[in-house]
């Protein structure tokens, strides 16, 4: 069993002495509900949120280990409560089909794509297929993508669809330029 699977099972309460209550509360609360999570190491806060809402949160232990969460309280959806717990950490909340997770998946994918395109643009300039003056702004724009995705994830706790679309437009521009020299 991987550490991710163990953490997932722990958030479900399957390894605790109160597993009967946790299993009985398997219906994930998607509507606002009363939530009270004390300031704690982030892993503990995620477990507490899962127990209160019946919504398991998937995450990798080593990813959340360095962080502490603030205390939160109020009537919140589980997704909103989760956002409040991770906001400011640089981690991202993902919600799909009643599944909740915390990762850095969007940042990693976007940063990797921008870095790969920067490398390709640099190689095209070095091979004299593209003039330096024509690619300087695009190279800088790709660098700005790598920086801004990290900043936005830290500020918001997620990378929005609009931001992803903007990044994709920058990538398409670079890909189009690179395709023109092949």
For residue 55, give the CATH number of its domain: 3.55.50.30
CB atoms closer than 10 angstroms to residue 61: 12
H/E run at residue 172: helix 161-179
pLDDT digits (tens, 9 = 90+) for 133-166: 889 999 999 999 999 999 999 999 999 999 999 9
Nearest-angstrom CA–CA distance, 111 and 145: 7
pLDDT at 170 over 80: yes
Nearest-angstrom CA–CA distance, 105 and 89: 14
Do 137 and 58 lie in one domain? The reply is no
Nearest-angstrom CA–CA distance, 143 and 138: 9
In eight-state DSSP terms, residue 87 is: T
Separate counts of helices (H) and strands (E) for the chain: 8, 7
Contact 52, 36 (CB under 8 A): yes
pLDDT at 29 over 50: yes
Do 95 and 116 lie in one domain? The reply is no
Over pLDDT 70: what percentage of the chain? 86
Domain enclosing residue 160, as ranges: 106-179
Cβ neighbours of residue 153 under 8 Å, at least 6 residues apart? 90, 91, 92, 104, 106, 107, 159
Do 71 and 147 lie in one domain? The reply is no
Do 96 and 35 lie in one domain? The reply is yes
Do 8 and 95 lie in one domain? The reply is yes
Nearest-angstrom CA–CA distance, 167 and 72: 32
Record the tokens describing residue 99, joined without a space. 């599944």
Full-model pTM: 0.80
> Which among 103, 128, 149 is the end of a domain?
103
Provide the domain count of the chain: 2
Q: What is the pLDDT of residue 8?
A: 47
In eight-state DSSP terms, residue 181 is: T
Measure the N-to-C terminal CA separation of the chain; round to a whole number of Å.
Answer: 46
């Amino acid at each position: 069993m991987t550490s991710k699977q163990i953490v997932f099972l722990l958030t479900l309460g399957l390894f605790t002495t109160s597993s009967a209550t946790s299993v009985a509360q398997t219906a994930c609360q998607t509507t606002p509900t009363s939530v009270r999570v004390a300031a704690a190491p982030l892993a503990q806060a995620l477990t507490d949120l899962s127990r209160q809402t019946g919504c398991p949160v998937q995450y990798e232990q080593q990813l959340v280990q360095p962080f502490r969460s603030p205390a939160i309280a109020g009537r919140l959806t589980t997704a909103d409560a989760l956002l409040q717990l991770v906001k400011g950490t640089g981690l991202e909340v993902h919600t799909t089909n009643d599944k909740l997770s915390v990762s850095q998946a969007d940042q990693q994918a976007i940063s990797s794509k921008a870095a790969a395109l920067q490398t390709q643009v640099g190689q095209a300039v070095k091979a004299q297929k593209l003039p330096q003056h024509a690619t300087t702004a695009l190279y800088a724009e790709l660098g700005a993508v790598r920086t801004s995705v990290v900043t936005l994830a830290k500020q918001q706790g997620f990378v929005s669809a609009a931001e992803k679309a903007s990044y994709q437009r920058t990538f398409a521009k670079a890909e189009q330029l690179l395709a023109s020299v092949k």
